[in-house]
Amino acid sequence: LAFNAEADDGRLIHLARSVGHEDIPAFRDALDAMFQEVGFPGFFARYVPDRDAAMALTDRMIKPGRADNNLREAGVEDVRRIVGEAMHSLDPERYPLG
């Protein structure tokens, strides 16, 4: 969400406002809070024990055709940064930025 917000053509802000948020950062904060509330960090940690486990998969996370639908072009380095930041937001102690 944060990655694509930089290239928003109006769809993301429309979505954010449609679900009751003033802007995209507020929508992202609400999603982060929801993930915490439903216990997603613990669930995620059962399957992805550390940062290296997730980073080992990042080169396979971009699929031709699917990636064409994204608001911004994203390469493997972008995906690594996105995944790392997302994991860190779930559990900063388990998944430090690196």
The reported pLDDT for the residue numbered 91 is 84
The reported pLDDT for the residue numbered 67 is 76
The reported pLDDT for the residue numbered 16 is 97
The reported pLDDT for the residue numbered 61 is 87
The reported pLDDT for the residue numbered 60 is 86
| CB-based burial label for 7 (10 Å; 0-12, 13-18, 19+) | exposed
Query: Which residues does the chain have with pLDDT short of 70?
Result: none
The reported pLDDT for the residue numbered 27 is 97
- Which residue in 39, 38, 12, 36 sits closest to 25, CA to CA? 12
The rounded distance, in Å, linking the Cα atoms of 90 and 60 is: 22
The reported pLDDT for the residue numbered 70 is 86
The reported pLDDT for the residue numbered 30 is 96
The reported pLDDT for the residue numbered 7 is 94
